[in-house]
């Protein structure tokens, strides 16, 4: 399968990339790792006339400790996330989720920014970022702005990014020391998108949940932040009745499509099962 | 679209050619450089038959444009054996352990296993299976592929290879 013709651009700075995207208009697409875009181009489901490759821009790379936050450049690969000692120490949820993205070869090339900005509800990192309360630093012609992950996703392949803007980096507040976490993903095989998946971060105080945040993957046209379910869990001991109530609240906000992964009702129920497992695991890991 | 000059190091030697921006790396390797070891299997970034080693990463060359690999250092299955024809330890291992049946997935499996062992000299069986999870063998000959990688790891580490009881 051979993609349609396009012109290839390789800027070396964010400013140059933005200039190209603005000048070339809607026929130009930024290229990150390409592991979503290139398959789409091979199938001719996408046929951009210009690709602006962001791989030559050093400013978009790297994982940085910034006190109470960690900042990850958009062109950081999943492989680099998996291998980051800083992330393992501070936000281990990211490694756990990243290891469930696609397969080893795809993780060497696929980027965090591509996973987040593409707007595919099947991608794993968006719900993780909603769960963590991350914000996206976006750069465009008229400057820089910050968009909360929970406000970024508008629909399938629809995000708050405006034409000519690119995602530059992601700022993630470091969860409290001793927090529990889990990303539970049901998939048919390695490399598949989730039938349903749930991300949980929680802190325990004695035997009760002090705080909790929940994200859900691939059970609606956007990733979901399950605010009500997390509110139900907070203050509880995570007893069976509370978990059941929280799961019901999470299931209530899902609206999955029926596809080869199963009918909609099944996928909603699997979101509940993944959430139950993630809550149990996160609690067990919390100190 | 106009072709542009693409230069890379392939199997230790400089390699140049003209490529349209849309030319995939796998097509450049196979059709311009006549390196037909990397295979086109699924052509949808699932099967890993096209895997090459690129700047120390295992990459599916069907999902990268040749222009993206401009300047890269690439190793394909053709670059695994020594110039005098001595097989790489992984090639020897696949032969000794019957790590191939039809052989179609083998170039990708070996190149992927090479990077896996570079990163982890002594992987567990589980780590091997996870490490090659981006490579499909449609003969389903995974048992012997895993054994071959264990054999190669043992040889690299200078310890005797012991087959696990079945």
- Taking only the tens place, the pLDDT of each residue in A37-74 is 999 999 999 999 999 999 999 999 999 999 999 999 99
**Where in chain B do CATH 3.10.20.30 domains reside?**
4-79
Asked if B67 and B25 count as a contact pair (C-beta separation under 8 A), the reply is no
pLDDT tens digit string along A196-234?
999 999 999 999 999 999 999 999 999 999 999 999 999
Dist CA A223 CA A219 (whole Å)? 7
Strand A153-155 relative to strand B4-10, pairing = unpaired
CATH code 3.30.390.50 for A180-285? yes
Residue partners of B72: CB distance under 8 A and separation at least 6: B8, B9, B54, B55
Question: CA A92 to CA A72: how far, in whole Å?
Answer: 14
CATH 3.30.465.10 matches A60-172: yes
Task: Give the number of A-B residue pairs with CB atoms closer than 8 Å.
Answer: 82
Distance of CA A1 to the CA centre of its chain: 29
Tell me the pLDDT of chain A averaged across its residues. 97
Judging contacts by C-beta atoms under 8 Å, the chain A residues touching residue B130 are: 104, 190
- Give the closest-approach CA distance of A236 to chain B in angstroms: 37
Per-residue pLDDT of chain B (166 residues; tens, 9 = 90+): 789 999 999 999 999 999 999 999 999 999 999 999 999 999 999 999 999 999 999 999 999 999 999 999 999 999 999 999 999 999 999 999 999 999 999 999 999 999 999 999 999 999 999 999 999 999 999 999 999 999 999 999 999 998 876 6
A42 chain-B contacts, CB cut-off 8 A:
24, 43-44
pLDDT at residue A245 in the model: 98
Q: Which residues of A touch B68 (CB under 8 A)?
A: 31, 34, 53, 55
Residues of B whose CB is below 8 A from A28: none
CB contact under 8 A, A34 and B68: yes
Query: What residues of chain B lie within 8 A of the CB of A98, using their CB?
Result: none
Q: Which CATH superfamily is domain B4-79 in?
A: Beta-grasp domain (3.10.20.30)
Q: Model ipTM?
A: 0.96
Q: What is the pLDDT of residue B164?
A: 72
What is the CATH number that goes with domain A7-53?
3.30.43.10
Chain B contact for A1, CB < 8 A? Answer: yes
Rounded to an integer, what is the distance from CA B145 to the centroid of its chain? 13
Which sequence spans correspond to the domains of chain A?
7-53, 60-172, 180-285
pLDDT digits (tens, 9 = 90+) for A21-38: 999 999 999 999 999 999
pLDDT of residue B162: 84
Q: What is the pTM of this model?
A: 0.96
Please write down the HEC assignment for all residues of chain B: CCCEEEEEEECCEEEEEEECCCCEHHHHHHHHCCCCCCCCCCCCCCCCCCEEEECCEEEEHHHCEHHHHCCCEEECHHHCCCCCCCCCHHHHHHHHCCCCCCCCCHHHHHHHHHHHHHHCCCCCHHHHHHHCCCCCCCCCCHHHHHHHHHHHHHHHHCCCCCCCCC
> The domain B89-157 belongs to what CATH superfamily?
[2Fe-2S]-binding domain (1.10.150.120)
Of A53, A104, A106, the CB nearest to B131: A104
Nearest residue in B to A189, CA atom? B133
């Amino acid at each position: 399968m051979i993609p349609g013709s396009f012109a290839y651009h390789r800027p070396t700075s964010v400013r140059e990339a933005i200039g190209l995207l603005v000048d070339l208009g809607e026929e130009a697409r930024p290229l990150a790792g390409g592991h979503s875009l290139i398959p789409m181009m091979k199938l001719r489901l996408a046929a951009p006339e210009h690709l602006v490759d962001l791989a030559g821009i050093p400013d978009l790379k790297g994982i940085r400790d910034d006190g109470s936050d960690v900042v990850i450049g958009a062109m950081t690969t999943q492989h680099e996330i998996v291998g980051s000692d800083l992330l393992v120490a501070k936000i281990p949820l990211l490694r756990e989720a990243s290891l469930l993205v696609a397969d080893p070869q795809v993780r060497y090339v696929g980027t965090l920014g591509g996973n987040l900005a593409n707007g595919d509800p099947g991608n794993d990192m968006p719900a993780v970022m909603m769960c963590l309360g991350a914000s996206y630093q976006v750069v465009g012609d008229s400057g820089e702005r910050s968009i909360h992950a929970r406000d970024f996703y508008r629909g399938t392949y629809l995000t708050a990014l405006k034409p000519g803007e690119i995602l530059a980096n992601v700022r993630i507040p470091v969860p409290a020391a001793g927090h529990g976490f889990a990303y539970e993903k049901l998939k048919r095989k390695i490399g598949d998108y989730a039938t349903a998946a749930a991300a949980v971060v929680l802190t325990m105080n004695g035997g009760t949940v002090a705080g909790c945040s929940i994200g859900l993957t691939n059970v609606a046209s956007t990733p979901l932040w399950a605010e009500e379910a997390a509110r139900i869990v907070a203050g509880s001991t995570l007893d069976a009745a509370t978990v059941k109530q929280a799961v019901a609240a999470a299931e209530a906000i899902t609206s999955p499509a029926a596809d080869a992964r199963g009918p909609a009702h099944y996928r909603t129920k699997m979101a509940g099962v993944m959430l139950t497992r993630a809550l149990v695991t996160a609690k067990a890991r919390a100190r | 679209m106009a072709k542009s000059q693409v230069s890379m190091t392939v199997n230790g030697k400089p390699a140049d050619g003209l490529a349209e921006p849309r030319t995939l790396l796998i097509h450049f390797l196979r059709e311009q450089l006549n390196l037909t070891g990397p295979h086109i299997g699924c052509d949808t970034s699932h099967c890993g038959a096209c895997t090459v080693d690129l700047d120390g990463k295992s990459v599916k060359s069907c999902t990268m444009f040749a222009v993206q690999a401009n300047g890269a250092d690439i190793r394909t299955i053709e670059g695994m054996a020594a110039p005098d024809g001595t097989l790489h330890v992984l090639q020897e291992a696949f032969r000794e352990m019957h790590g191939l049946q039809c052989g179609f997935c083998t170039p990708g499996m070996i190149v992927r296993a090479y990077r896996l062992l570079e990163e982890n000299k002594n992987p567990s069986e589980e780590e091997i299976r996870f490490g090659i999870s981006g490579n499909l063998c449609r003969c389903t000959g995974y048992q012997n592929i895993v054994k071959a990688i264990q054999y190669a790891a043992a040889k690299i580490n200078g310890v005797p290879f012991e087959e696990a009881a079945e």
